[in-house]
Structure 1
Amino acid sequence: MEQVNNLRKLKWGILGCAGIADQHMIKAIQQSNSGEVIAIASRTLEKAELIAGKHGIPRFYGNYEQLLSDKEVEAVYIPLPNHLHCEWVVRTAAAGKHVLCEKPLALNTAEAIDMVNACHKADVHLAEAYMYRHHPRYERAKDIIHSGQIGEVRGMIGLFTFDLSGLQGDIRFRSDMGGGSIYDDGCYPISASRMLLRAEPEAVTTHSMFSPQHGHVDMMNTVLLEFPAGVGAMLQFGMWCDGRNEIQVLGSKGSLVIPNAFYYEPPAKTRILVNVQGEKTEVQFESINHYVSQIEDFNSYVLNQHPLPYSGDDLIANTRVIEAVLRSSKERIRVQLGTA
């Protein structure tokens, strides 16, 4: 976790009252040592006032433009529906405010490029809200993998599934709003494979189940990401399946497993399991709130004027892979990344 070498707190505004903001992100900012929420906006003043009152936020606005006009707001968290991310990231950057946008950053590569360019032009930070990778176990996992402790990497398995099939009218079942499992939870193992393997996939093949009763969005996916040197990442993710939440990295001499890989809540265990030629080791970590860690890191990068660890090029590259996965799913073809 980055350390904030500054006594003042970064002043945040929340652009929307989505469940992720209400349940996790507002609390995370308030629990951080380096940030405070000073304003929230919704499409209706009543909803903004309700959430502001619940969390003790001093200002609330009945439209998004008013929050962006608030000169005291320095950073904005955007939990809006996926199809609105590009517009409001660009508008937030134009207002001169740093941006933490919910995943997935964009619906396609062209949008991601526009968002990155807008933030670069405005000289503001842009980050995608993958909270899981701000837990210290991931730095340790990368060290173990690339130290050669488990030998040469042969493959990776990433599993992130749960069952939302009983919900009615959920936004994740609206393809016109960026719904579906690939955008909702598939982006987690996709981003993790690139991060842990420190490489870009060369090709993608996706096999999906689409559900007419859920707006014809993809509800279950099996994906093969082909990385250089014959390394493959097999990813399974979905919203109509028994729950799984794990990463396995397979090496020539051993393996590494990350249980509760993408989502957990304290006091759940956070650990890494390493098996090298039959010798098993369990590396345990403090059960911290990774939403708070994400905020502390973002605040530190802004207040200390440090570059973010995941650059604009990385944001674009991750979106390119997600777009290829989606294209393969819909067209039932193997997609080479150069043609995605």
Structure 2
Amino acid sequence: MNNKVRWGILGAAGIAYKAILPALKVSEFAEAAAIASRNSNKAVTIAEEFGVSQVYEDYASLLKDPNIDAVYIPLPNTLHAEWTIIAAEHGKHVLCEKPAALTATEVRRMTEACERNGVLFAEAFMYQHHPRYERIREILANQEIGVIRSIQARFTYNKTGQTDNIRFQSEVGGGALYDVGCYPIHAARLLLGTEPVAVTCNSSFFAEDSGVDIMTSGLIEFPDGISLTFDCGMLAEPRNHLEIVGDKGRIEIPDAFNCSPHSSEIRIRLNKELELESFGPADHYELQINDFSKKILSGNPLEYQTNDAMLNAAVVEACAISMKSGLKTFVQS
């Protein structure tokens, strides 16, 4: 392997050309070497814009390319498992867009395929690579806000007039929970360093019996009486916020899951005093690509446990069951 990881992109989804390809273009450790799409004209246009040398009309051909080290998979949610497993069998490291899959069983199959073939697998929660979260974890570890009592999060956007979007299609795993509700769940698990035991969710749906939630509110129960309360939505006023409440203070994280690459901040409130900590330019998409690529180049394991995606999927799966039944649902570990 050379001094840069050579990446292939499976599909021409917006997230690929709006975030991942720009990150690859400026990375010191990675480069975009190929893109595959069933829409060849779109793929050619994207390739020309980002200097990608190889364009394939199908995913399988890209995976057979011996010059590709890793792939990014931003395909519809229901295709993540299939193409992750195929990529692993071709010896490609995999960065898979969230949610990794719709069930913990599927994610287990994905991670086992990657482990069996000696390749790395990660779910693309880019926010966690931003230096803000390292600082927040330091504050929590030092108990600067005391004992954690609760976490609250909101992540909504408004697709009014765009309901032909794939996010509104149940057959491909659409819905607010899968699209953005997985972020607060992941963040709470990351910051608490433990796994929840039960969930209760309430949802409104795009259409009767559609299975596509347009708004979901949830209560996620962790050990020691700590809870995450969150809401997520696709037809609501945009919000993107996380708050961690302790018995001595709290941390507020504006633009918690998708912040500006130019600047960001966290707000720490202690004894009625507000302290702002600012962070300079940091693109969490670029940091995600760099972190994953450096692990490939060095041969070192990822910083988080290999079953992280499976554990997150188990919680999201419990939420999906609860939002349809309206009942408290225990997380299957």
User: Does the CA contact (< 8 Å) of 2:5 and 2:70 recur in 1?
Assistant: yes
Q: Which residue of 2 aligns with 1:220?
A: 215
Distance 1:68 1:216 in 2: 33
Identity of counterpart residues, as a percentage? 42
Q: TM-score w.r.t. structure 2 length?
A: 0.97
Alignment of 1:108-127 (within 5 A): 108-127=103-122
Alignment of 1:14-25 (within 5 A): 14-25=9-20
Distance 2:203 2:90 in 1: 40
> What is the root-mean-square deviation in Å for CA atoms of aligned residues?
1.5
Which ranges in structure 2 are unaligned for 5 or more consecutive residues? none
Alignment of 1:14-163 (within 5 A): 14-163=9-158
- CA gap 1:216/1:325 in 2 versus in 1, 3 angstroms: closer
Distance 2:312 2:208 in 1: 30
Distance 2:55 2:246 in 1: 52
1:315 corresponds to 2:304: no
Q: Which residue of 2 aligns with 1:324?
A: 318
SS of aligned partner of 1:326: helix
Instruction: For 1:76, give the aligned amino acid.
Output: V
Deviations 1:221-267 (A, max 9, x none): 11000111111110111111111111100001110111110012333
Distance 1:98 1:290 in 2: 20
Q: TM-score w.r.t. structure 1 length?
A: 0.95
Instruction: For 2:128, give the aligned amino acid.
Output: R
TM-superposed deviation, 1:125: 0.2
User: Does the CA contact (< 8 Å) of 1:39 and 1:67 recur in 2?
Assistant: yes
Distance 2:49 2:289 in 1: 20
Which ranges in structure 1 are unaligned for 5 or more consecutive residues? 1-5
Q: Which residue of 1 aligns with 2:266?
A: 272
1:182 corresponds to 2:177: yes
User: Does the CA contact (< 8 Å) of 1:203 and 1:334 recur in 2?
Assistant: yes
Q: Identify the match of residue 304 of structure 1 among 289, 298, 302.
A: 298
Distance 1:71 1:311 in 2: 28
User: Does the CA contact (< 8 Å) of 2:322 and 2:328 recur in 1?
Assistant: yes
Distance 2:209 2:239 in 1: 21
SS of aligned partner of 2:307: helix
Instruction: For 1:13, give the aligned amino acid.
Output: G
User: Does the CA contact (< 8 Å) of 1:173 and 1:216 recur in 2?
Assistant: no
User: Does the CA contact (< 8 Å) of 2:261 and 2:284 recur in 1?
Assistant: no
Query: Aligned residues, how many?
Result: 333
User: Does the CA contact (< 8 Å) of 2:168 and 2:206 recur in 1?
Assistant: no
